[in-house]
Structure 1
Amino acid sequence: MSINPMQLDPRVKRTHHLIRDALLSLMDSKGFDHVTVRNITQHAEINRATFYLHYEDKYDLLKKIVNGMLDEFAAAFQLPPDFEAADFVQDANTPPESFIRQFQHIAEHAASYRVMLGPNGLPGFSLRMEDIIRESLYRRSVIAQPNDQQVTMPRDIIVRYVTSAHLGIIMYWLENDMQYSPKYMATQLIRLHEHGSTHFFKGNA
C-alpha cells in the first residue's frame, strides 16, 4: 500500500529530500550513469543502510523522482471533471488557472526540471512531459469542438503543433532564469494559442 507523502514523518521527508537532492546534484555534474549509491550517500551525508531503507537502488530512486515530478506536473495542468466548453477563457489576456498552476509548479521545482531537461538529464523526460501536455490539450480540443467534421484541420496536427509550442515556452522560461512571473508566462502562452505567432509580427499585439 502506498503512503501519502503528507503522512510521512518529518525526519523521513528530510531524508528523502537529502537523497533526492544529492542525486539531482550529481546528475547535473556528471550524468546518471556515472553516479553510484556511494556517491549519493556521501553527498547526502547519510549511511548506505539509510539509503537502502528507502530505495532499492539508484534506478528506483530515479524512477520515484521522475514519476513524482510528472504526476505533479500533470495534476497542475488538469481540468476539473465537470469542465465544459463554456468555461474556456474568452479573453486571450486572461490565462486559465491550469496554465498558471503549471508554471507555478515548474517554478517550485525549477532546479529539478533544469537537471532533467539539461545535457546530463534523463533521456526521454521531455517526451513524457510532452505526452502529458498533448493528452491534456487534446481533451481540451474535444471539449471545445467535439465534432471532427467542424475542425478545419486534422485535430492531431493542431494538437501536436500547440503541444510543441507549449513545451518550448516552458523550456525557454527555465533556460532564461524564469525572468517573468508564472501568470505572465501563462498569459503569453494562451495568447499564442489563441492568435498564433505571426499575429505578433503585424503590429496587432
Structure 2
Amino acid sequence: MKRKHNQQLKRDQIWNALIILLENRPIEKISIQNICDTAKIHRTTFYNHFYDIYDLLGYGTEQMVSGLIPEDILEFNTDAMSANITHYISRYRNVLANITRAGLKDHLLSITDEAFENYLYKTIAAAKDAYSLNIPIHVTAKFYCAGLSQLLYWWVSNRDMSEEELKSQVDEIIQLIKHSCIK
C-alpha cells in the first residue's frame, strides 16, 4: 500500500512539473528533461512512471478533470458546480490552451464530456421525482454535457472575459440546466 501511495505522489509531482511548464509554453517546446528538471527528478524516474510526455498528458488531464466535479457534489448544487467550473477555468486557462493547441482538444473534450455527463446523470436521477422532461435522463445528460464541455473550452480560449463575467455566465448556464429539467 505504501509503495502505491509513493508511486501516486511521484506521478503527481511529475504532472505538477508539467503544469508549471505548460503555464508559459506550448507542449511541443517542453522536453522530458525540462519536466525532470522542474520536478527535480532523474529521467529514469520519469520513465518508471510514464512512457512519454503524451502518456503523462493523458494521466494529468484525467487528474485535472476529475477535480472539476468532486464526487461529494451529489445534488444539483448550482453554486458549488458554478464555483468549481469557474475555478477550473481560471486555474488552468493557460495549461488547457497549450494542451488544446497541441491537438489534444478531442481527448480533453472526451474526458470532460464523461465527467459532466456522469455528474448530470447522477444529479438528475437523484431528483427523478422532480424530473420534468419526457425523454430519458441519460439523453438529457448527454445533451447538456456536450454543450457544457464546448462552452468550457470556449471560455478557456476567451481571454478577454473577466472572471466576474465568466462566473456570471457559468452561473446562468448551470441554472438554465437545472430549471429546464427539474421542477
Please report the TM-score for the alignment, with normalisation by the length of structure 2.
Answer: 0.69
* Contact 1:103–1:185 (8 Å) recurs in 2: no
CA-based RMSD: 3.7
Which is higher, the Rg of structure 1 or of structure 2? Answer: 1
Q: Partners of 1:67 and 1:51 in 2: how far apart?
A: 23
Aligned CA distance change for structure 1 residues 159 and 122 (closer, same or farther; 3 Å): closer
Q: Partners of 2:15 and 2:118 in 1: how far apart?
A: 30
> What's the secondary structure of 1:152's corresponding residue?
coil
Structure 2 residues not aligned, in runs of 5+ = none
Please report the TM-score for the alignment, with normalisation by the length of structure 1.
Answer: 0.63
- Equivalent pairs counted in the alignment come to 170
Letter of the 1:184 partner, please give it: S
- For residue 129 of structure 1, report the CA deviation from its aligned partner: 0.6
Q: Partners of 2:21 and 2:92 in 1: how far apart?
A: 15
Percent identity of paired positions between Structure 1 and Structure 2: 12
> Deviations along 1:99-155, whole A, 9 cap, x unmatched?
21222122112222223333522542211110110011011111121598x742232
The equivalent of 1:201 in structure 2 is: none
Structure 1 residues not aligned, in runs of 5+ = 90-94, 197-205
Query: For 2:51, which of 50, 57, 63 is the aligned residue?
Result: 57
Q: Partners of 1:193 and 1:165 in 2: how far apart?
A: 10
Query: For 1:71, which of 66, 79, 98 is the aligned residue?
Result: 66
Query: For 2:162, which of 168, 179, 182 is the aligned residue?
Result: 179
Q: Partners of 1:70 and 1:141 in 2: how far apart?
A: 20
Q: Partners of 1:126 and 1:19 in 2: how far apart?
A: 20
* Contact 1:134–1:163 (8 Å) recurs in 2: yes
